[in-house]
Amino acid sequence: MSDTSADAADSGNPEHQEGGKYSVKGKEYTRDTRYITTRVTADGRDGFPVEAGRYRLVAARACPWANRSIIVRRLLGLEDAISLGLPGPTHDERSWTFDLDPGGRDPVLGIERLQEAYFKRDPEYPRGITVPAIVDTTTGAVVTNDFAQITLDLSTEWRAHHRDGAPDLVPQRHRDEVDEVNQRVFTEVNNGVYRCGFAGTQEAYDDAYARLWTALDWLEDRLGGQRYLVGDTITEADVRLFTTLVRFDAVYHGHFKCNRNKLAEMPALWAYARDLFQTPGFGDTVDFTQIKQHYYVVHSDINPSGIVPGGPDLSGWVTPHGREALGGRPFGDGTPPGPVHDGERVDPAHTPLR
């Protein structure tokens, strides 16, 4: 999936800021997956040891790649160990900005733009200023923006700081299957909707559209007989799929032309998505207003008017899903996370959860 073209190193396009830059070179969308791969680990082998209070997770609610890190942090109870910085839903060609905070500055890092933390790491940083990013508060510099590794490390390297009853999101007995499912979901679904939305030709779009719906039909069949993607508990695989599904009808169906049918018209996937949405740690991190503002405003090449649609109706997200009949134990031998921390609650007007 890596793009080594010169275009991929140009951070001037505002669409290059969401979970990894992309290039539409020729006809096909390609995501640049070259990240800062430094890791925060228990043994500190990269120079950044796990340490409660030292790091800040900067993750916009609007971005699906960042949303998954917010979910995992909450499921594992890492709120007191890793603080959360929340940029607003839109950004310009330079960077995500902290326009939701008083004075337009992150209250911990003291910066207006996430770009400042990247430039503290590398004054000539050449790629997109992406979220999620983990920032070292002792230096103000980004440690990593490798979104896939970030959540895996939260589950494995930060175990000493997990809450009592935290679920095992990467169970060793299912690790190979989780990795296999994650790979297909990433290439065909998480990234597949973008491949449709930013296709440069009809041929590229038709190919992307077929691939996306082949994968969604596979998931519909898989989830028709089991409550979760792997095993009988929530895993990393469910987190990764959820953040695309929760945006599907609100954005991808129309904005990205993924319109064979709506998620709400796929019985198993729709029930599965509602099941997760109603599970503490999932829906309570989702801000539909910010999601729509991000895609419809920032993607000016797709939506030059900048008009944000009023729909869809969100009330269906809190209707009964019936997935309990399939069995399963959402948190395994653990427990649900407690109430959302003060200062991290989604605006009640932006979600059907009240």
SS3 content of the chain, % helix, strand, coil (to 5): 40, 10, 50
255-294 pLDDT, tens per residue?
A: 999 999 999 999 999 999 999 999 999 999 999 999 999 9
- The domains of the chain are located at 172-350
* 63 is an active site residue: yes
Residue range 324-341: mean pLDDT, rounded: 97
Interhelix angle 236-247/147-156, rounded to 10 degrees, is 140
Q: Are the CB atoms for 279 and 285 separated by under 8 Å?
A: no
Residue range 33-49: mean pLDDT, rounded: 94
Q: Is 158 flagged in the annotation as binding?
A: no
Confidence grade of residue 233 (pLDDT, cut at 50, 70, 90) = very high
Q: Which of 22, 35, 63, 209 is catalytic?
A: 63
Share of the chain above pLDDT 90, in %: 89
- Residue found by looking up tokens 């409550």 in the block: 227
Q: For 172-350, give the CATH class.
A: mainly alpha
Say if residue 31's pLDDT is above 90. Answer: no
Residue range 324-348: mean pLDDT, rounded: 97
Tokens for 201, please give them. 């030709």
Tokens for 39, please give them. 């890791």
Distances (CA, A) of 104 to 70, 86, 88, 267, 292: 21, 11, 10, 43, 21
- Exposure string of 11-37, with b = 16+ CB inside 10 Å and e = fewer, is beebbbbbbbbbbbeeebbbbbbbbbe
pLDDT at 34: 80
Q: Which of 22, 35, 55, 194 is catalytic?
A: 194
pLDDT at 28: 73
Phi and psi at residue 41, to the nearest 5°: -130, 160
Say if residue 61's pLDDT is above 50. Answer: yes
DSSP code, position 97: B
* 252 is an active site residue: no
Say if residue 169's pLDDT is above 80. Answer: yes
